[in-house]
Amino acid sequence: MKSKYFFKTLLSSVFILIIFAAFAACEKKQDGTNDNNNAGNSGNTIKIGEYGSLTGEKATFGQSTKKGIALAQEEINKVGGLLGKQVEIIVEDTRGLPQESTTVVQKLIDKDKVIAVLGEVASTNSLAGGAVCQEKKIPMITPSSTNADVTKIGDQIFRVCFVDDFQGEVMAKFAANTLKVKKIAILRDNGSDYSKGLANFFEQTFKRLGGEIIAIESFQDKDSDFSAQLTKLKGLNPEALYVPGYYTQAGQIAQQARKAGITVPIMGGDGWDSQTLFELGKEALNGCYISNHYTIEDPDPTVQKFITNFKAKFGETPDALAALAYDAACIMFDSIKRANSTDRQAIRDAIAQTKEFKGVTGVITIGPNRDAIKSAVILEIQNGKYKFRESVKPDNTTVSVELPNTDTSSKTATAAK
């Protein structure tokens, strides 16, 4: 009888323990510590992933981006972080390779359990990493991938930069309306989604404005000798040359073009923006033009504060990649704050609802296709520096203002507001 009572009591105790354990598990899941959708909220930090080209041919892009995000992270943590926790940025190097982008993004999501991702710069890499984020339902903001296809991956992918159709249109209008040229040749990187897309949009707009594209020549990412293409183009007597590539090739192309006797303006996109461009191109870059995201000559207090803080932390002037990265991180932090949650879907929805965010690179609104609606600027290269020429809003309007620190040859510049 005693044995029977003992087993009955034992079974009752086990049953109570099972009920208690199940209740505790439910409580644990509700506060997010055992919910995979809130995995990056465990411990004392909120985990956000970053992937970029920290090494390889486009390393200056990745390094600038990393610094911009690091500054934003430092600033948010100084004021208490997010949701009562510090922000932790887990950084992975893609080495500038699409396949590596896929691998490191999978690692950030599956192993590090991040709740959101920032990156990449190169559109080809963002297409690779973005596909992983979309599949796993992780919100991603690319700071500076301008190829139109990037956000078409799906509803989890956003950007804070303008899109190449707008950038190509802006430069084509500058060539036709400001430089007054009628015949242009294009030299593009056939292995780059960024370069091909930008070239196509430029060509379409320039033709629509009555201009003529007299030739389209191509090269590959690893090329360093462009003499054959440039010799052919010189014989066609273009009035300008459009090179929508990255800084490594652009600097070399400028040098070789001048040696080949091509003296006309050479134009490019935001992919030129790197100090390495000046090391490679030197004086051959004088009189060249690029479309870009912001100018350090902008007197706006938000811009100047960012530049001051960046210089204090890193000892250098921030380029557009650093500024875009800072904006991307700030919008991510702001979205988490507005969502008041580390739930990935809630963060995704908050990013999509971003309206008129006052960033360093302009006032940013996320449009219905998850692209940023914002302005672009045209910069002229003179003696190793970018000089502000004009800015174009998404509605193609401009506003003229006096900018400080401009040279005597530039009386009035145009700034986006």
Q: Residue 274's closest CA among 303, 257, 250, 296?
A: 250
The pLDDT of residue 394 is 83
Tokens of 10: 């034992």
Q: Across all residues in the chain, what is the average pLDDT?
A: 87
Q: What is the CATH number of the domain that holds 282?
A: 3.40.50.2300
Look up the domain containing 207 and give its range.
164-292
- In this structure, the answer to whether residues 213 and 170 fall within a common structural domain is yes
**Is residue 395 a part of any domain in this protein?**
no
- Predicted confidence (pLDDT) at residue 13 exceeds the cutoff of 80: no
Task: Provide the strand spans (E) within 94-178.
Answer: 117-118, 140-142, 157-159
Which of 29-33, 280-284, 361-365 shows the lowest per-residue confidence on average (mean pLDDT)?
29-33
**Is residue 354 a part of any domain in this protein?**
yes
- In this structure, the answer to whether residues 176 and 274 fall within a common structural domain is yes
**Is residue 20 a part of any domain in this protein?**
no
Return phi, psi of residue 407, to 5°: -80, 170
The pLDDT of residue 57 is 86
107-137, pLDDT tens digit by residue? Answer: 999 999 999 999 999 999 999 999 999 999 9
Prediction pTM value: 0.78
Give the Cα separation of 252 and 397 in Å (integer).
Answer: 34
- Predicted confidence (pLDDT) at residue 290 exceeds the cutoff of 70: yes
Q: Which of 225, 257, 292 is the last residue of a domain?
A: 292
How many other CB atoms are found less than 10 A from the CB of residue 390?
22
172-198, pLDDT tens digit by residue? Answer: 999 999 999 999 999 999 999 899 999
229-238, pLDDT tens digit by residue? Answer: 999 999 999 9
Band of pLDDT at residue 42, cut at 50, 70 and 90: low
- Predicted confidence (pLDDT) at residue 243 exceeds the cutoff of 60: yes
- Predicted confidence (pLDDT) at residue 408 exceeds the cutoff of 60: no
Q: Which residue has the higher pLDDT, 101 or 408?
A: 101
Q: Look at the chain and report how many structural domains it folds into.
A: 2
Per DSSP, the three-state class of 351 is: helix
**Is residue 408 a part of any domain in this protein?**
no
**Is residue 169 a part of any domain in this protein?**
yes
- In this structure, the answer to whether residues 213 and 307 fall within a common structural domain is no
Mean pLDDT of 16-31: 40
Give the Cα separation of 122 and 53 in Å (integer).
Answer: 8
Give the Cα separation of 64 and 255 in Å (integer).
Answer: 25
330-366, pLDDT tens digit by residue? Answer: 999 999 999 999 999 999 999 999 999 999 999 999 9
- Helix axes 320-339 and 59-78, enclosed angle (nearest 10): 40
The pLDDT of residue 221 is 81
Tokens of 217: 């020549």
Q: What does DSSP assign to residue 176?
A: I
Q: Which of 262, 292, 322 is the last residue of a domain?
A: 292
Band of pLDDT at residue 5, cut at 50, 70 and 90: very low
Task: Calculate Rg over the CA atoms of the chain.
Answer: 25
Q: Which of 276, 292, 308 is the last residue of a domain?
A: 292
- In this structure, the answer to whether residues 304 and 156 fall within a common structural domain is yes
The pLDDT of residue 260 is 96
- Predicted confidence (pLDDT) at residue 63 exceeds the cutoff of 80: yes
- In this structure, the answer to whether residues 237 and 263 fall within a common structural domain is yes
C-alpha 77: how far from its chain's center?
22
367-405, pLDDT tens digit by residue? Answer: 999 999 999 999 999 999 999 999 888 876 544 333 444
Give the Cα separation of 126 and 325 in Å (integer).
Answer: 14
Q: Which residue has the higher pLDDT, 186 or 17?
A: 186
- Per the DSSP assignment, residues forming a β-bridge with 381 are 386
